[in-house]
Amino acid sequence: MPHAYPFLTPEQKKELSDIAQKIVAPGKGILAADESTGSVAKRFQSINTENTEENRRLYRQLLFTADDRINPCVGGVIFFHETLYQKTDDGKLFPQVIKDRGMVVGIKVDKGVVPLAGTNGETTTQGLDGLYERCAQYKKDGADFAKWRCVLKITPTTPSRLAIIENANVLARYASICQMVRDGGHHGIVPIVEPEILPDGDHDLKRCQYVTEKVLAAVYKALSDHHVYLEGTLLKPNMVTAGHSCSHKYTAQEIAMATVTALRRTVPPAVPGITFLSGGQSEEEASVNLNAMNQCPLHRPWALTFSYGRALQASALKTWAGKKENGKACQEEFIKRALANNQASIGKYASKGEGGAAAGESLFVANHAY
Amino acid sequence: VKFSRREWALTPSPYPSLSPEQKQELATIAQRIVAPGKGILAADESTGTMAKRLQKINVENTEENRRYFRDLLFSVDPSISQHVGGVIFFHETLYQKSDKGVLFPKVVKDKGIVVGIKVDKGTAGLNGTDGETTTQGLDGLSERCAQYKKDGCDFAKWRCVLKIAHGCPSPLAIAENANVLARYASICQQNGLVPIVEPEILPDGDHDLQRCQYVTEKVLAAVYKALSDHHVYLEGTLLKPNMVTAGHSCPRKYTPQEVAMATVTALRRTVPAAVPGICFLSGGQSEEEASLNLNAMNQTPLHRPWKLTFSYGRALQASALAAWKGQPANKQAAQEAFFTRAKINSLASKGEYKPTGQVDKAASQSLYTASYVY
């Protein structure tokens, strides 16, 4: 029986929603710099750089100390645990560097995927044990938001009903715990909810849209059941795209229309912002697609912006190549993508070879087709 | 890509329930009903309910009296179509004619107004609950909808009822009513009718505003999950909810701004932006109360991606009934009373209603408490 046992005071709610709004303020998005040690290994290997703690520190330092041109572009940065306690060459803790620039510090809190027995290779995500205590400590250490990634995949037999409800439930538990966190006078960590549907496969755009709608409907039902305060959350979904091996290629406008339609059908207007993951997209693709989202003629009551890892860092990483003398050039590449996505998040990105905003709009198909 | 039957059973099935043309028709109908400044005249009172209305003005509940009164409403000046986008009919009324011998659906359609039909068959008890109900009417619903579509209807209405009390609404009542609403909606869409989904939470009781808001959020979350599970095309639906108010016997009185803030907050947390419009029921509110509350909704400083308008029965007809009193001589006065309420609610649906004697918008905005309280 619905009896309300409120656990958030008005002040606590305000703190959560203020944080969320700050992250997705107009023109701003998130730098996802939370690659685990294992993920960094893969990135560094591609640029022939040794995966040492010092190299990870040097690389993140380059990103965090890029010049003021990124200030209007970056609302928040997601950290990996190790990085939260690393310092600049001058001995300043990284979270402090980010905070001093007016950006919000976030922390990845999940502990990776684990298999769901009896399914076709599907997973849930672990990390709930002691999560409250870990989050309280992260809040003390400067974090104001968190991120938790669940993973689903599209095949003829997946995602299964179990995978959908289990991942939705664990996301809701995580979100609820984050919002409860207290640290003395400070309250609340804004949970970014990430139900990623992988782009692997040969399915078409429609199939992805359909699955995305079902997954997001389940996620928001679970958030409601767990009494999560939506105004103090963010969503980090996949864009709706065809599978990587799908033979048909879709335009940015088709991707935008399918994505925005799916979101309009499932994400309540109370959610302040939707920060897309870039998945396997190239830097340019991710910017062009985000731009098309923000030019879509369908009404969008939430901010549509970015939470990009590779799509902000790929060129920067390559340019750095692990060499100190490439530092400035590396930062220039990062700044370039930050500015591009800043423009894309307000629908004003003019990439090379693309027409202006007016040319793009004519490519949108009427929404009833979706 | 082809999917086997087993695959279809296991995974979110991509089997399309509506063609693009069907979707476009439904979305277009829904948008017409809630076009700016327009709302719905709920004239679907059953014979039993009409008995109560007519008894209050000492008029006999005959078929001719029911016909006469509906004719009075439907034959007002055609400019009514600026304020009324749709009319909900009761079955009997759909086959009655105006004084000039024109079928009522045609009278309404010729004014550019969309014709709707109540299709549920009333509530039925849920065993093991504290007097809670579900709503029946699914049997043969598809065939009935097809016939109604032929007979001029383009939308339908189905009312579920929940109540707030100790232990209510129960998880069963919420799940069962959400499910039956979704089945109804799915069937309507297959037959080209836009379903208005009405999960009414009664205002009876002494609970406060917060309690009603909480229950409304839970009920609407369940409704939209059920609509998703049943593959209902949201752009081709409308929602007809209660406003969030305190119970009738709650000692504390709330302002229209508080009612509006609680209501809009609840809707923002549960109703996807794809839904084109939300048409409030007036429940036990007076005509003026219903207009003031709707007006406050449309002035709330929270972003609202759907239209917020009216689907009023009593709140559009009470004065008209009282003016008519069953006397043909009073027909014009009754029509004017109805037209006046329609115009007022049209303004309220745009947040532009300025009742005489009220302070202006700037002054009333200071009555809003910040949204984070809710």
Residue B98: its pLDDT value, please? 98
Residue B9: its pLDDT value, please? 36
Any CB–CB contact under 8 A between B178 and chain A? no
Residue B255: its pLDDT value, please? 96
For residue B121, CA distances in Å to B135, B158, B185, B200 come to: 7, 9, 15, 15
Residue of A nearest to B226 (CA): A217
Residue A5: its pLDDT value, please? 75
Is 90 exceeded by the pLDDT of residue A27?
Answer: yes
In angstroms, rounded to a whole number, what is the distance separating the alpha carbons of residues A298 and A291?
Answer: 14
Helix residue spans in B130-278 (DSSP H): 141-150, 171-190, 209-229, 256-268
Closest CA to B305 of A114, A301, A80, A112: A301
In angstroms, rounded to a whole number, what is the distance separating the alpha carbons of residues A37 and B240?
Answer: 52
Any CB–CB contact under 8 A between B269 and chain A? yes
Q: Which amino acid type is present at position A168?
A: A
Any CB–CB contact under 8 A between B128 and chain A? no
Is 50 exceeded by the pLDDT of residue A19?
Answer: yes
Confidence of residue A182 (pLDDT cuts 50, 70, 90): confident
Any CB–CB contact under 8 A between B372 and chain A? yes
Burial (CB count <10 Å: 0-12, 13-18, 19+), residue B239: buried
Residue A354: its pLDDT value, please? 46
Q: Over the stretch A126-159, which tens digit does the pLDDT of each residue have?
A: 999 999 999 999 999 999 999 999 999 999 999 9
Where do we find the tokens 């009833």? A368
Q: Identify the residue among B174, B268, B269 best suited for mutation to test binding to A, counting A beta carbons within 10 A and taking the highest.
A: B269
Structural contact between residues B190 and B143, judged by C-beta atoms closer than 8 angstroms: no
Q: Which residues does chain B have within 8 Å of residue A160's beta carbon, measured at their own beta carbons?
A: 10-11
Dihedral class, residue A148 (left if φ above 0, else alpha if ψ from -120 to 50, else beta): beta
Q: Identify the residue among A208, A209, A216, A224 best suited for mutation to test binding to B, counting B beta carbons within 10 A and taking the highest.
A: A224
Q: Which residues does chain B have within 8 Å of residue A270's beta carbon, measured at their own beta carbons?
A: 265, 268-269
CA distance A39 to chain B (A): 31
In angstroms, rounded to a whole number, what is the distance separating the alpha carbons of residues A81 and A40?
Answer: 13
CA distance A155 to chain B (A): 9
Q: What sign does the dihedral B325-B330-B334-B340 (CA atoms) show?
A: negative
Helix residue spans in B191-330 (DSSP H): 209-229, 256-268, 287-297, 314-324
Q: Over the stretch A262-310, which tens digit does the pLDDT of each residue have?
A: 999 999 999 999 999 998 899 999 999 999 999 999 999 999 999 999 9
In angstroms, rounded to a whole number, what is the distance separating the alpha carbons of residues A113 and A122?
Answer: 9
Write the DSSP string, A177-215. HHHH-EETTEE--EEEEEEEE---SS--HHHHHHHHHHH
- Check CB contact under 8 Å for B371 and A231: yes
Q: Tokens for B232?
A: 């209902």
Please tell me the pTM assigned to this model.
Answer: 0.91
Q: Identify the residue among A119, A157, A265 best suited for mutation to test binding to B, counting B beta carbons within 10 A and taking the highest.
A: A265
Q: Would you tell me how many other CB atoms lie within 10 Å of the CB of residue B177?
A: 27
Residue B357: its pLDDT value, please? 62
For residue A70, CA distances in Å to A61, B255, B274 come to: 14, 46, 34
Question: Nearest 5°: phi and psi at A233?
Answer: -135, 170
Residues of chain B short of pLDDT 50, as ranges, are 1-11, 359-373
Task: Quote the Cα angle for A132-B269-B126, to 5°.
Answer: 100
CA distance B307 to chain A (A): 12
Average pLDDT, chain A: 93
- Check CB contact under 8 Å for A213 and B228: yes
Any CB–CB contact under 8 A between B36 and chain A? no
- Check CB contact under 8 Å for A10 and B27: no
What is the mean pLDDT of the segment spanning A243-261?
A: 96
Q: Over the stretch B240-280, which tens digit does the pLDDT of each residue have?
A: 999 999 999 999 999 999 999 999 999 999 999 999 999 99
Q: What sign does the dihedral A151-A156-A161-A162 (CA atoms) show?
A: negative
